[in-house]
Amino acid sequence: MNKTNSIRPNIPVGVFLIAGFYLFGAIVLLVSLFINPVVVSRTIAQVHNLPPVVDAFILPVVICIALLITYGLFTRARWGYLLTLVYLIIFGSVSFWLVSQNIQQPYIGNTTWSVLALLFLVWKWKYFLSQ
């Protein structure tokens, strides 16, 4: 029998993993919003190279962006693809700049993630723009 999954269209494994990564990150940040919001907000602001003034609202903003990216990638929406590319370019550029200022593992990992995810999504661009 030929069964098709009508709930989730055929998603490439790499796109599924990238979307899953952002979903997992959003869930972790959502939990940390209730457990230790001050420290996590400062860390998120530091990783995005934002001033400490944004501590109060950066966590909900990043959670919303991660959920939007997840939904956009899972639904194969053009806006989700473009939002992910823009976020990866901005986040990757900031991380690369921070690596050049002081070499620390989180920034190197963030830069590597941004470059690899960006390259993969550019490679799969037809998958999103064929909708």
DSSP state of 52: G
Tens digit of each residue's pLDDT (9 = 90 or more) over 40-66 = 888 888 777 777 777 778 888 889 999
Question: Which range among 5-9, 71-75, 113-117 shows the weakest confidence by mean pLDDT?
Answer: 5-9
Q: Is residue 75 part of a domain?
A: yes
SS3 state at 11: coil
Q: Is residue 109 part of a domain?
A: yes
The pLDDT value given to residue 104: 66
The tally of domains found in the chain comes to 1
Q: Is residue 8 part of a domain?
A: no
Q: Which amino acid is at 3?
A: K
Domain that holds residue 26: 13-129
pTM for this model (two decimals): 0.81
Q: Is residue 1 part of a domain?
A: no
**Measuring CA to CA, which residue among 85, 18, 86, 92 is closest to residue 49?**
92
